[in-house]
Amino acid sequence: MIHCKQSRRASSGGRRGYAWLASITGSAVMAIVAGMAAPDAMAQENYPSKPIKVVLGFSAGGGTDAIARALAKHMAGTLGANVLIDNKPGANGNIAAEEVSRAAGDGYTLLYNTSSIASSPALYSKRLSYDVSKDLAPIALTASLPIVLVVPAKSPFKTVQELVAYAKANPGKLNYASAGNGNVTHLAALSFEDAVGIKGMHIPYKGEAPALVDLMAGMVDYYFATSAGAIPAVKSGRLKALAVATKAPLDTLPDVPTLDATVAKGLEMSAWSGMMAPAGTPPAIVAKLNGAVEKALADKEVQAYFANQSAQASSSTPQEYGAFLDKEIDALAKVIKKAGVTLD
């Protein structure tokens, strides 16, 4: 009875409210609507008014982390707000991607993603709790990193030919690291094994930094690292580079041969990275972020840093990045299916 009386009162008040609304002029309605929309418009116009968090799904200290921090530092100057990298390693970057996919689309929580985001739909087809294409909005491609085959400094292998010969003569005795199950560093190793006819034991890590640490300590035998992660360690003498997965030798490692010229004709591999926002982020904010990324990629200091890592800037519009991502999802699905890899 009490619930019914309250319902009738609410209904009566509602009718009086509708009568009042019908009596006001069209211009007044427009003014009310404009007033309601003004805060959102003002928030976009004043963006950013507080620090921006960029979530990265891999450990601090790896090659992707270093590239992301270099870009974030320059973006902060352009945007006039702190741009902070928040490392959330695990599940091949999916912990970070899931967090951002659930965040408010206000431009204050972003994702710095690697190419692993394009392999995840095929690898985790049953377990993935977000849709890359529907729950995240592309901002820009940022960088492309060549893949380098590295071994510990004290490794007995001086050439990639020696590594392959030993692996063929001793099946299953060599192990290799990756920055995570299904990560590009894992897929690179699988492609290498398929090309040269060997099989190693896979040891996944939560990012490139811990993989490099164990490799330098001699706890794993080899690793297909990003150039940004490999080159500093090679130049400091902590690792040896046996081959690069590029068509031509890298300027930063001129004495290191290519896989194409040694043991795997035509085998080329690289990692790429980009920035995304939650779906529903206003186009004006996405455009502003894209402009900040593009300005960072054009900066001479950033370009010099990229060159030292053999990283290539990958300038793009949000639309171009979206189209690129769709193609990569399809291409990596084919590689994963052929390798028979599944993480479900």
Under a CB-based contact definition with an 8 Å cutoff, are residues 98 and 66 in contact? no
Q: What is the pLDDT of residue 3?
A: 36
Under a CB-based contact definition with an 8 Å cutoff, are residues 113 and 99 in contact? no
Q: What is the pLDDT of residue 31?
A: 56
Is the peptide bond prior to 48 cis by the omega test (within 30 degrees of 0)? Answer: yes
Same fold, 52-144+271-339 and 146-261: yes
CATH class of 52-144+271-339: alpha beta
Query: What b/e readout covers 130-155, taking b as 16+ CB neighbours within 10 angstroms?
Result: bebeebbbbbbbbbbbbbbbbbbeeb
pTM to 2 decimal places = 0.78
Compute the average pLDDT of residues 6-35. 47
Q: What is the pLDDT of residue 62?
A: 85
Compute the average pLDDT of residues 154-165. 98
pLDDT tens per residue across span 251-288: 999 999 999 999 999 999 999 999 999 999 999 999 99
pLDDT tens per residue across span 238-251: 999 999 999 999 99
Alpha-carbon span 161 to 178, nearest angstrom: 21
Residue 304 above 50 pLDDT? yes
Helix (H) or strand (E) holding 178: strand 175-178
Q: What is the pLDDT of residue 109?
A: 98
Q: What is the pLDDT of residue 125?
A: 80
Q: Please give the share of the chain, as a percent, with pLDDT higher than 70.
A: 87
Residue 67 above 60 pLDDT? yes
Q: What is the pLDDT of residue 25?
A: 55
Residue 7 above 60 pLDDT? no
Q: What is the pLDDT of residue 19?
A: 45
Of 23-32, 93-102, 161-170, 315-324, the one with minimum mean pLDDT is 23-32
Compute the average pLDDT of residues 125-151. 94
Report the amino acid identity of residue 178: S
Compute the average pLDDT of residues 40-64. 87
Domain ranges of the chain: 52-144+271-339, 146-261
Query: Under CATH, which number does the domain 146-261 receive?
Result: 3.40.190.10
Alpha-carbon span 27 to 266, nearest angstrom: 68
Mean pLDDT of the chain: 88
Q: pLDDT band for position 2 (50/70/90)?
A: very low
